[in-house]
Chains A and B, each alone.
Chain A
Amino acid sequence: MNQPQAFDVIAVDTLLERARALREQGFRLVQISATQLPDQVELTYSFDRDSRLTNLRLNLPNGARLPSISGVFGCAVLYENEVHDLFGVPVDGLAIDFKGNFYKTAVKFPFGSTKAPCAAPAAGAPAPCAVEEVKK
């Protein structure tokens, strides 16, 4: 049931190349997930072929720009907009850019680091967390 999981760490500039190669081999994009680490955003791209996962990992310093793979995998648009809206990662070359309106959150980039310089106009109001913990 638990497939061995490897996270293939790659450099940002090889992402598109790798994505293209995976697409040619008949992979589909399963998900893109991001994790905010203290000074970088860790991005995980999961691809699937015949129920086998291949994961690519990118480490993106806070505020660095991410190239979009939406030209290769069309459905990446949603994930990339999500990464932008929640983590404040600016994405270049989005096929459909919601311009920060994909998620209508109360604060900009709720999951991102507060230190990140934001490309969006509401850069002045980033908050560490959108989720108010239920506490009296």
Chain B
Amino acid sequence: MAYFKMSWLALKWALKKPATSPYPFVPRRLLAGSRGKLSFTKDGCVYCNVCAKKCPTHAIVVNRANKKWAIDRLRCIACGYCVEACPKDSLTLKPEHGAPTITRDREIH
């Protein structure tokens, strides 16, 4: 039958477990290499401002005088350019993604 080429595929999958998952109830599998959320560790940071300079979207602001590091999460594109540039390895990209937000507040560390 030239008309029912899809039947086998549809029936096979009707009996199989669905490929999707009930998302909010079952969290998504995290992939190790994924560029998710940028995380900052205060310990080694020398507030050299390199990350802020390299950031293509100007999401990071560093204040050397007050020893403050801030990021605008809505602006960050998770490219990881700052992670590569950081001389002290204070920045890492975690595979998990950030929580949704509706405010534009800067996250200050």
A–B contact at 8 Å CB threshold (below):
yes
How does the 8 Å CB contact mask read for A101-135 relative to B, with 1 for contact and 0 for none?
A: 00000000000000000000000000000000011
Number of interface residues of B (CB under 8 A): 4
Docked Cα-Cα span, A134 to B58, in Å, equals: 7
Q: Which residues of B contact A135 (CB under 8 A)?
A: 58
CB contacts between A and B, total, < 8 Å: 6
Q: How far is the CB of B70 from chain A (nearest CB, A)?
A: 11
User: What secondary structure prevails in chain B residues at the interface with A?
Assistant: loop
Number of interface residues of A (CB under 8 A): 3
Q: Which residues of A contact B57 (CB under 8 A)?
A: 134
- Tell whether B75 is near chain A: CB-to-CB under 8 Å: yes
Q: Which residues of B contact A136 (CB under 8 A)?
A: 58, 61
Q: Which residues of A contact B61 (CB under 8 A)?
A: 136
Docked Cα-Cα span, A135 to B58, in Å, equals: 7
Q: How far is the CB of B72 from chain A (nearest CB, A)?
A: 8
Docked Cα-Cα span, A136 to B55, in Å, equals: 13
Closest 4 CB pairs of A and B: A134-B58, A134-B57, A135-B58, A136-B58
